[in-house]
Structure 1
């Protein structure tokens, strides 16, 4: 049981680290007029292409920019586009307000809106890559990046991303329903695990003992990291010279294996891998938090970019119109969500995190019977499978929609006090 609790804590810490990355990227974009203009210039042709697809049959568009033959049987509709904006806003609000978990709802939400699983994954990866490219200010973080560490890690990440993308495409070629079933099953496992412990954490958060902090210093090497660093298995990679005298060393083999895990998870789930990099680096490899932050930003750009382009985009599994819709929505959502945390009690934020991941779990869990029935793995009627899927979708969007309305209500109700404290202006300048 302790192992499960530790795994849950790693997932939560990683999700929070990725949320901090999301907030930093969106803030960098929103605070720069130049980046906003670039975003607008990118948005116009992509939206025009989406309108062309909606107006015609899409046959005149190359597969690599979203012709229907590339991602059939998902089709462009105005409903799906506005759903992508809504999904982006909701994910951004969850990320900004809760500080974790927003990225986990994007692919399930797109699949609920009628987008094929492989297309949802590829589109989510492209959206993360676009945000990383536009929002990263690498020159500010270069002092925190260990280049040998990052490059060695990326060798494994690229290999893992390649395998994950090949697996998704192989299953899709066999049967699109099988592909959806695989992606859905992965999300059921991850979200189910997070949901279980998030609910327990919320219940315990009302007790005084649950709010205790462990007080461990961030630069202490965790036991697993110390054990791995003690293994002399050449070639050895040196890092953290600026943190501790003489730096630290770890075998390149462990870095490559860690990168492989992150890259494969990113390519299969479409989450960029950022939620795994932080716990693996800090707890598993014993890398300092300062070096981890800089290296994580560096790896997300390359891992998400490589996965999105080489494993999905060139095969036609990126829906660019939806990616831009999600990007726009998430930029707004993250900023508003982060401001709302200044006027909302922490226990309520924990409650909403538990609610959000539980809604995502129920949504994907209720989608399983229809897919299993389509593949003749279980014996239920089509009507029953469709009904369960509809119920799961309805519950998901009701919960996420109610959360979104509540956050906007709290934001506008407290807008005057937020302005008086200078919080709103720091993003508007």
Structure 2
């Protein structure tokens, strides 16, 4: 149980940090008139593409754009674009309101909508890369970047992201269903663990009468036992950091940074979540890097890790659905803004409960989809009709929870709009 609690806190800290990164990024993007104009211009070609598709002009585009039918084209109908905005908004509402990574639900949502797993991963990575690029241009916290720390970390991240991309592509070439089953299994394990811990955390907070922050866990600014042990190992070259925050600064062997980067890159390459949810707890709790330095360095690494993985491992092989990526970008930016405002009028314990429900809904969605995929490959004895039934149950459970949460958040926002405007004015 002690390991479960420690790992749960580790994951929750990462999810909470990733949400703060998303919120800061959204504010930076939406606060720029130029970037808002760019977002508006994004709508034009996609809408025209949807109209062309409806009028039977678009079917010739896959050959022109280099799309591959086996991998799905890089465009689709206007209806799919609207669905992608809705998925992005749902993830954004979770991120902004709950204070934990709503990006965890994007790949399951896309797969539930009929998108192949590898395409969902590549598209999510590209969406994160686009958001990181736009937000980092004017992000205030970029000044905290430790270039030596980031440079060595990225060596491992690039290796890990390459390995993750290769694994997904090899499995897809063997059997697309095997690829989906693998990605589904990874998400089931992660969402199952995180959702169980989040629900226990919520029930504990409710029992104790807690009503504060939406997500628990401090940022661990003090040097823990693991970090002290790792920093005491002298395996040169040693990378120095935090000179401005700690007398004499701190240092750690390059090997631990490369290994950490490889783990983060592998997660990004396989799951399409950018890896930021792992970087923060690893830097702070394992490597002993200060929160200030971690924030800036992680923003820096996400741009390169997500960019490298999305382009080199997915885009050039036709595994990115650009229409979906742009729709999710627009939807998530709007959802984050609304969700962040709602936290001002909703008790923190309530938000914790919704987060646990959202993550567990994602877990149920993926775990119910798995038997049908394993049965299709002949790994377990299950009929196709039973597999489809379980998958349908998982899809309905997922979208009912996420849809209900989204309606509740938007309703709460509209209901308290006057009060929120007054508060913003002050």
| Alignment TM class, shorter chain as reference | over 0.9
Does residue 61 (structure 1) correspond to residue 62 (structure 2)? The answer is yes
SS state at 1:23 partner: helix
Say whether the 8 Å CA contact 1:149–1:237 is kept in structure 2.
yes
Residue 170 of structure 1 and its aligned partner are, at CA, apart by 0.4
Does residue 44 (structure 1) correspond to residue 44 (structure 2)? The answer is yes
Say whether the 8 Å CA contact 1:101–1:353 is kept in structure 2.
no
How does the TM-score come out when normalised to structure 2? 0.94
- 1:263-307 deviation digits (Å, cap 9, x = unpaired): 010110000001000000000100000000000100010000111
Tell me the distance in 1 between the aligned counterparts of 2:36 and 2:283: 33
Tell me the distance in 1 between the aligned counterparts of 2:141 and 2:356: 33
Give the direction of change, closer, same or farther, for the CA distance of 1:328–1:302 in structure 2 (3 Å limit): same
Task: Give unmatched runs, 5+ long, in structure 2.
Answer: none
Tell me the distance in 1 between the aligned counterparts of 2:59 and 2:383: 34
Does residue 71 (structure 1) correspond to residue 87 (structure 2)? The answer is no
Tell me the distance in 1 between the aligned counterparts of 2:14 and 2:217: 18
Partner residue of 1:8?
Answer: 8
Partner residue of 1:104?
Answer: 104
Larger mean Cα displacement after TM superposition, 121-130 or 202-211: 202-211
How do 1:10-25 and structure 2 match up within 5 A?
Answer: 10-25=10-25
Tell me the distance in 1 between the aligned counterparts of 2:172 and 2:11: 28
Residue 145 of structure 1 and its aligned partner are, at CA, apart by 0.9
Tell me the distance in 2 between the aligned counterparts of 1:142 and 1:194: 29
Aligned with residue 323 of structure 1, among 313, 317, 325: 325
Partner residue of 2:253?
Answer: 251
Tell me the distance in 2 between the aligned counterparts of 1:269 and 1:289: 25
Partner residue of 2:221?
Answer: 219
Partner residue of 1:389?
Answer: 391
Partner residue of 2:418?
Answer: 416
How do 1:202-281 and structure 2 match up within 5 A?
Answer: 202-208=202-208, 218-281=220-283
SS state at 1:193 partner: helix
- 1:200-224 deviation digits (Å, cap 9, x = unpaired): 1111112338789999884311111
| Cα-Cα RMSD | 2.2
SS state at 2:206 partner: coil
Tell me the distance in 1 between the aligned counterparts of 2:60 and 2:145: 45
SS state at 1:206 partner: helix
Does residue 345 (structure 1) correspond to residue 347 (structure 2)? The answer is yes
Task: Give unmatched runs, 5+ long, in structure 1.
Answer: none
- 1:117-143 deviation digits (Å, cap 9, x = unpaired): 000000000000011111114673343
Residue 73 of structure 1 and its aligned partner are, at CA, apart by 8.8
Partner residue of 1:288?
Answer: 290
Partner residue of 1:177?
Answer: 177
